[in-house]
Amino acid sequence: MAAIFLVLQSTAQINPYNYHSQKKVTATKGAVVSAHPLASKVGVTILQQGGNAVDAAVATQLALAVVYPGAGNIGGGGFLVAHLNNGKNIAIDYREKAPARASRDMYLDSAGNPQLNLSQDGHLASGVPGTIAGIFASYKYASLPFAKLIQPAIDLAEKGYAITAAEAASLNNLKEEFIQLNSTAPVFVKQQRWKAGDTLIQKDLAKTLERIRDNGQSGFYEGETARLIVDEMHKANGIISYEDLKNYQAKERVADVFDYKGNTIVTMPLPSSGGIILQQMMGMIANRNIAAMKFQTLQSVQLMTEVERRAYADRAEFLGDPDFVKVPVKKLASKDYLAQRMKDYAPSKAGSSAVTKAGIIKESEETTHLSVADNKGNVVSITTTLNGGYGSRTVVSGAGFLLNNEMDDFSVKPGVPNMYGAVGNEKNAIAPGKRMLSSMTPTIVLKNNKPYLVVGTPGGTTIPTSVFQTLVNILEFGMSVEDAVNKPKFHHQWLPDEIRIEKDFDAAVKKQLEAMGYKVVVKGQIGRTEVIQINGKQIIAVGDKRGDDDAEGFAPMP
Ligand code: DON
């Protein structure tokens, strides 16, 4: 009882021991949709206390770091895209960086063979975390005291919360890895099997969050937390140093903004590949009447597959951290170039990645998304990640949080696929202080300069194509938000040269694609898309059916 009371103090009506997932809400004063009911509820209580969408997004993100440890994080990084009621578009880059001691070939053995266990598992897989720097960079657009925004997360960590069946299953699955990749068994390891409803208490994490509450950004990047991170690095082969932590800075970048048939799309620029690929894909379908082809017919899937192939070939060839390498962004998104890319497109024939390579330019499971809208005209779209599920699976001993395995998003060797099958070259090679290329695509659509859609998803390389499909579903096929989120998704990423589909994808269309010459493979779920749609005074939020995702509203309508 005492525990419930304490959590209630910071989060109004939330009972962390008894809650369920609500998939859709229609509200008038604001909404939050995220991967976990408790995190969405935390966000809405902040709106109810007078906070704006940025306040709610900060609080939701911090709560996710506690209640959704597989992807919610303070030991990873992410991107925030927002549209504020003064008309300003914001893009905050808090992607992890390679530590100063990182080097181009650090994941190759002496014969030059990639050792992907090192870029994916344990201490050496971690980039310098960016999330807390990103939260403080976004906080300048917030309005409530920071202590108010972080307290729900502290309470949830300190007093615990009941885990879901999905959380129990993943903690059970990873038990051996948690033991193997940590010198002290973290709280995620339990003698008996976890089951739904068990309480997860994270005392060390609560103390870390308190240091952040009391000392701001330096509560993470300096002092006791930094000491615990560096000590943890020394327990194995880690290389993150005090200087790496102290030097880390989030970057405010210029949002990627483009027009699609009168809608203004606001999305993340590099070092995410997501925004530019989305712009390319939307650009390549813009002058074709895809609406007439209809949702997931042979024609529309074939067209979307071929534009996906072309965009991902360009990703592998041209994209990397713009602070380190030159990327011809303008050219890649230009009408002429995209028309050129589609010159060899044949509507009735399967393309081939052996034939269609990157364009020619001569000029110099686990991530998580949250979408927030308030009633003041502000919207926020955040995708944040540890990379793989539970990141490196290494917890900073004494500090209670998981570190990312984001180094695997670099191209460890030209042409060697990372854990999402993405290939790259020198543009995305490892260098000290460089940010690894991402696919995360937090996106906002404006209509007449007013927020209309807030969209994003996890899913590695499937992120840009899931956002692409969601936008096409709504803007072209006229689908409801629920259908746009929950109907089956598909994906093509140039290499491997195959169309990946979800198992409920139309069987007849699958056969037709195969008859045309495509390789089609059924491979698990694609993404966990969280969407908010604003129609005048009505705010509709939908959480993906694929997980515990949950939509909560401020002043919900019956
Ligand atoms: O930044 C990226 O593109 C990846 N690290 C995202 C990983 C991800 O989405 C995993 N989720 N299922």
Q: Is residue 244 part of a domain?
A: yes
Choice among 11, 225, 305, 367 that is catalytic: 367
Does the beta carbon of 409 sit less than 6 angstroms from any atom of ligand 1?
Answer: yes
Q: Is residue 500 part of a domain?
A: yes
> Cβ neighbours of residue 281 under 8 Å, at least 6 residues apart?
304, 307, 308, 311, 464, 465, 468
Does the beta carbon of 438 sit less than 6 angstroms from any atom of ligand 1?
Answer: yes
Distance 384 CA to ligand 1 centre (A): 8
Judgement on whether residues 222 and 276 belong to the same structural domain of the protein:
no
Confidence (pLDDT) at 175? 98
Domain's final residue, options 382, 400, 416:
416
Does the beta carbon of 60 sit less than 6 angstroms from any atom of ligand 1?
Answer: no
CA angle 484, 490, 491 (to 5 degrees): 125
Model confidence at 3, pLDDT cuts 50, 70, 90, reads very low
Q: Is cis: bond before 496, omega within 30 of 0?
A: yes
Distance 151 CA to ligand 1 centre (A): 28
Question: Which residue's C-alpha comes closest to atom 1 of ligand 1?
Answer: 438
Judgement on whether residues 34 and 116 belong to the same structural domain of the protein:
yes
Strand 77-83 to 89-94 pairing: antiparallel
Tell me the pLDDT tens digit for each residue of 305-348.
999 999 999 999 999 999 999 999 999 999 999 999 999 999 99
Looking at the predicted structure, is the pLDDT value of residue 551 above 50?
yes
Tell me the pLDDT tens digit for each residue of 455-488.
999 999 999 999 999 999 999 999 999 999 999 9
Confidence (pLDDT) at 365? 64
Residue 439 near residue 456, CB atoms below 8 Å: no
Model confidence at 509, pLDDT cuts 50, 70, 90, reads very high
Does the beta carbon of 529 sit less than 6 angstroms from any atom of ligand 1?
Answer: no
Confidence (pLDDT) at 2? 42
Judgement on whether residues 358 and 386 belong to the same structural domain of the protein:
no
Does the beta carbon of 365 sit less than 6 angstroms from any atom of ligand 1?
Answer: yes
CA angle 261, 263, 264 (to 5 degrees): 125
Looking at the predicted structure, is the pLDDT value of residue 11 above 90?
no
- Cross-strand partners of 199: 162
Model confidence at 13, pLDDT cuts 50, 70, 90, reads confident
Does the beta carbon of 428 sit less than 6 angstroms from any atom of ligand 1?
Answer: no
Judgement on whether residues 194 and 336 belong to the same structural domain of the protein:
no
Query: Where do runs of H (alpha helix) occur along 294-392?
Result: 298-318, 329-333, 335-341
Which ligand 1 atom lies nearest to the CA of residue 528? 12
Distance in angstroms (rounded) separating the CA atoms of residues 446 and 454: 9
Residue 445 token pair: 């659509």
Mutate-to-test residue for ligand 1 from 439, 528, 546, highest number of ligand atoms within 8 A of CB: 439
Distance 224 CA to ligand 1 centre (A): 29
Does the beta carbon of 473 sit less than 6 angstroms from any atom of ligand 1?
Answer: no
Confidence (pLDDT) at 202? 98
Mutate-to-test residue for ligand 1 from 367, 368, 412, 437, highest number of ligand atoms within 8 A of CB: 367
Distance 524 CA to ligand 1 centre (A): 15
Tell me the pLDDT tens digit for each residue of 174-200.
999 999 999 999 999 999 999 999 999
Report the CATH number at residue 525.
1.10.246.130
Question: Which residue's C-alpha comes closest to atom 2 of ligand 1?
Answer: 438
> Cβ neighbours of residue 248 under 8 Å, at least 6 residues apart?
97, 128, 129, 130, 133, 221
Looking at the predicted structure, is the pLDDT value of residue 12 above 60?
no
- Cross-strand partners of 25: 541
Judgement on whether residues 121 and 95 belong to the same structural domain of the protein:
yes
Q: Stretch 394-398: mean pLDDT, rounded?
A: 98
Judgement on whether residues 167 and 302 belong to the same structural domain of the protein:
no
Does the beta carbon of 439 sit less than 6 angstroms from any atom of ligand 1?
Answer: yes
Q: Is residue 259 part of a domain?
A: no
The residue type found at 180 is Q
Query: In 10 A of CB 309, how many CB atoms?
Result: 22
Over pLDDT 70: what percentage of the chain? 97
Question: Which residue's C-alpha comes closest to atom 4 of ligand 1?
Answer: 460
Does the beta carbon of 460 sit less than 6 angstroms from any atom of ligand 1?
Answer: yes
Distance in angstroms (rounded) separating the CA atoms of residues 449 and 446: 5
Residue 406 near residue 98, CB atoms below 8 Å: no
Q: Is residue 216 part of a domain?
A: yes
307-321, 331-345, 354-368, 429-443: range with lowest mean pLDDT? 354-368
Question: Which residue's C-alpha comes closest to atom 11 of ligand 1?
Answer: 366
Does the beta carbon of 458 sit less than 6 angstroms from any atom of ligand 1?
Answer: yes
- Cross-strand partners of 532: 454, 541
Judgement on whether residues 298 and 229 belong to the same structural domain of the protein:
no
Judgement on whether residues 381 and 354 belong to the same structural domain of the protein:
no
Q: Is residue 515 part of a domain?
A: yes
Which ligand 1 atom lies nearest to the CA of residue 422? 3
Count of H helices and E strands in the chain?
A: 20, 18
Terminus-to-terminus CA distance in the chain, angstroms? 30
**CA distance to 73, 156, 167, 188, 411, per residue, from 199 (Å):** 19, 10, 11, 11, 39
Distance 5 CA to ligand 1 centre (A): 36
Confidence (pLDDT) at 29? 98
Q: Stretch 519-540: mean pLDDT, rounded?
A: 97
Does the beta carbon of 527 sit less than 6 angstroms from any atom of ligand 1?
Answer: no
Tell me the pLDDT tens digit for each residue of 244-297.
999 999 999 999 999 999 999 999 999 999 999 999 999 999 999 999 999 999
Q: Is residue 149 part of a domain?
A: yes
Residue 455 near residue 440, CB atoms below 8 Å: no
Q: Stretch 158-185: mean pLDDT, rounded?
A: 97
Question: Which residue's C-alpha comes closest to atom 8 of ligand 1?
Answer: 460
Residue among 228, 192, 304, 274 nearest 75 (CA): 228
Does the beta carbon of 320 sit less than 6 angstroms from any atom of ligand 1?
Answer: no
Query: In 10 A of CB 298, how many CB atoms?
Result: 19
Judgement on whether residues 36 and 83 belong to the same structural domain of the protein:
yes
Looking at the predicted structure, is the pLDDT value of residue 363 above 60?
no
Residue 222 token pair: 């300096």
At 522, give phi and psi (nearest 5°): -90, 125
Residue among 495, 502, 494, 546 nearest 521 (CA): 502
Find the domain containing 124 and state its range.
6-252+367-416
Distance 439 CA to ligand 1 centre (A): 7
**Count of structural domains within the chain:** 2
Judgement on whether residues 178 and 202 belong to the same structural domain of the protein:
yes
Question: Which residue's C-alpha comes closest to atom 5 of ligand 1?
Answer: 387
CA angle 436, 69, 458 (to 5 degrees): 50
Q: Is residue 319 part of a domain?
A: yes
Q: Is residue 257 part of a domain?
A: no
Looking at the predicted structure, is the pLDDT value of residue 4 above 70?
no
Query: In 10 A of CB 433, how many CB atoms?
Result: 16
Distance 461 CA to ligand 1 centre (A): 7
Judgement on whether residues 20 and 106 belong to the same structural domain of the protein:
yes
Distance 223 CA to ligand 1 centre (A): 30
CA angle 239, 390, 40 (to 5 degrees): 125
Judgement on whether residues 73 and 48 belong to the same structural domain of the protein:
yes
441 carries an active-site annotation: no
Does the beta carbon of 387 sit less than 6 angstroms from any atom of ligand 1?
Answer: yes
Which ligand 1 atom lies nearest to the CA of residue 463? 9
